[in-house]
């Protein structure tokens, strides 16, 4: 395919002009003016979105101050509230890392939702099926197999992308729905608990994640999520594989020319990305619900993961911050609705606005800095290069 558009294309915000392709171990905490602008974009996006939210609250004749203080109260008002907020944050860290990891390889894993479902149902299944195992074996086994299931679910679109050049976006969307119906089939059939409710039997005590804050539901999943942040950081920036994956994300042609096995790295990156989403499902099954409940639609952690990854600029630490923000908003929204009687959908609008602003960051970039010589914008936009003949 002779195509003039064979410029290096990562996903926006993933691979700006190749500057973040540092060798493992390279110094990375120097901040230039340009980086300062890049860093301020997410902050400005959040502030603008909260401002829009305030206008919406005024529009329905309420006080934004009352709404936002109810939100903060709900998120941080008591020990229990803080614990619940962190319970919300936990799966978002995993799915945010998942989407960010795929972005780093120039892939768009929009299938986090489906991988989440597969991780959740497999972890629940292992959690109730096996009995008599000690916690130190059963709990990690259920968690890891959940993550593994998510990884497998993503490996297929990764394989199809790497070997046949089929775009991963469409396939991962398709697999979201396949996972949704497949889980429904399982939970209505072989995995169903006897009785009227479409759900699996409860996960046995030995497979449940430890409680880490007495008097609350906060569970060990948070520690696992923080561990995953560090692991993804280490993998991406301190190992050869991570270096290769980022190289593929920035320019697959150059990477191939440089001797990197691009197909292999695409499959690996998709699998790791899927495993992270699967892990999100697993912690929900083993730490919060203790079973798999029939889904009537997508739970949304996967889609929110996209927002988290974008807002966190696809960096593991950025993801951590963004997941904390989104988890706080989600938790606070419930109180905002129940106490201040303000529709929690406002939070959905705020989240979508953040994504739109971060996605259209070129607008902000133009406002925030006097235009720098402008080739970069055209280079990094767009999608991953289609595997050409």
| Residue 369 binds other proteins, judged by CB under 8 A | no
Query: What does the DSSP assignment read for 129-160?
Result: H--S--HHHHHHHHHHHHHHHHHHHHHHHHHH
Which pair of tokens denotes residue 68? Answer: 């936002």
353 binds other proteins (CB under 8 A): yes
From 258, 279, 322, 272, select the one nearest 120 (Cα to Cα). Answer: 279
Residue 211, beta-bridge partner list: 219
- Restricting to residues 75-114, name those near other proteins by CB under 8 A: 108, 110
Give the angle 20-312-91 at the CA atoms, nearest 5°. Answer: 130
Residue 360 near other proteins by CB under 8 A: yes
- Rounded least distance, CB 190 to other proteins, Å: 11
Q: Compute the least distance from the CB of residue 202 to other proteins, in Å.
A: 23
Shortest Cβ 381–other proteins spacing (Å): 4
With a CB cutoff of 8 Å and minimum separation 6, the contacts of 30 are none
Among 311, 307, 321, 268, CA closest to 102:
268
Among residues 343, 375, 306, 372, the alpha carbon closest in space to that of 98 is found at 306
Whichever of 29 and 59 has its CB closer to other proteins, that residue is 59
Site mask for other proteins (CB under 8 A), range 178-207, x = bound: x--xx-xx--xx------------------
Interface with other proteins, residue 377, by CB under 8 A: yes
Q: How far is the CB of 259 from other proteins (least distance, A)?
A: 27
The least distance separating other proteins from the CB of residue 307, rounded to whole angstroms, comes to 7
Residue 167 found at the interface with other proteins (CB under 8 A): yes
Site for other proteins in 312-351 (CB under 8 A): 343, 345-351
8, 11, 122, 299: which one contacts other proteins (CB under 8 A)? Answer: 11
Confirm or reject binding of residue 257 to other proteins (CB under 8 A).
no
> What's the min distance (Å) between Cβ of 89 and other proteins?
18
CA–CA gap between residue 314 and residue 325 (Å, rounded): 15
Q: Which of 34, 193, 294, 383 binds other proteins (CB under 8 A)?
A: 383
Check residue 4 for interaction with other proteins (CB under 8 A).
yes
Q: What is the DSSP letter of 214?
A: T
Q: 112-129 and 262-283 are packed helices; what angle lies between their axes, rounded to 10 degrees?
A: 60
Residue 100 CA to its chain's centroid (Å): 7
| Paired strand residues for 219 | 211
Least Å from the CB of residue 206 to other proteins: 31
> Do 315 and 140 meet the contact criterion of CB atoms below 8 Å apart?
no
Q: Which residue among 134, 215, 297, 373 contacts other proteins (CB under 8 A)?
A: 297
Q: Which residues pair with 386 in a beta bridge?
A: none
Q: Which residues bind other proteins (CB under 8 A)?
A: 1, 3-5, 9, 11-12, 56, 59-60, 108, 110, 160, 164, 166-167, 169-171, 173-175, 177-178, 181-182, 184-185, 188-189, 297, 303, 306-307, 310, 343, 345-353, 355-356, 359-363, 377-378, 381-383, 386
């Amino acid at each position: 395919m002779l195509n003039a558009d064979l410029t290096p294309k990562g996903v926006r915000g993933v691979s700006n002009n190749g500057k973040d392709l540092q060798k493992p171990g390279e110094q990375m905490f120097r901040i230039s003016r340009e980086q300062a602008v890049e860093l301020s974009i997410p902050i400005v996006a959040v502030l603008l979105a909260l401002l829009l939210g305030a206008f919406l609250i005024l529009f329905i004749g309420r006080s934004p101050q009352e709404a936002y203080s109810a939100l903060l109260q709900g998120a941080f008002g008591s020990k229990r509230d803080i614990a619940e907020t962190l319970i919300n944050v936990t799966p978002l860290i995993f799915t945010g890392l998942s989407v960010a990891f795929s972005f780093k390889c120039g892939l768009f894993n929009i299938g986090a939702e489906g991988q989440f479902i597969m991780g959740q149902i497999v972890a629940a299944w292992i959690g109730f099926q096996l009995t008599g195992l000690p916690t130190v074996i059963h709990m990690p086994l259920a968690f890891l197999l959940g993550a593994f299931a998510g990884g497998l679910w993503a490996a297929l679109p990764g394989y199809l992308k790497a070997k046949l050049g089929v775009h991963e976006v469409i396939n991962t969307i398709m697999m979201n729905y396949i996972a949704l119906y497949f889980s429904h089939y399982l939970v209505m059939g072989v995995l169903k608990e006897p009785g009227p409710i479409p759900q699996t039997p409860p996960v046995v005590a030995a497979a449940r994640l430890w409680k880490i804050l007495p008097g609350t539901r906060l569970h060990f999943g948070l520690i696992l999520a923080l561990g995953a942040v560090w692991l993804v950081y280490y993998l991406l920036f301190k190992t050869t594989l991570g270096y290769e994956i980022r190289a593929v994300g920035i320019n697959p042609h150059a990477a191939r020319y440089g001797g990197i096995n691009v197909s292999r790295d695409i499959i690996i990156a998709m699998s790791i990305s899927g495993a992270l989403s699967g892990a999100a499902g697993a912690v929900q099954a083993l730490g919060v619900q203790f079973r798999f409940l029939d889904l009537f639609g997508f739970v949304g952690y996967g889609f929110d993961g996209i927002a988290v990854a974008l807002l966190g600029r696809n960096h593991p630490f950025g993801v951590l911050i963004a997941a904390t923000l989104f988890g706080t908003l989600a938790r606070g929204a419930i109180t905002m609705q129940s106490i201040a009687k303000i529709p929690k959908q406002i939070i959905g609008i705020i989240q979508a606005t953040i994504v739109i602003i971060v996605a259209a960051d070129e607008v902000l970039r133009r406002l925030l800095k006097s235009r720098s010589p402008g080739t970069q914008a055209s280079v990094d936009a767009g999608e991953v290069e289609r595997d050409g003949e």
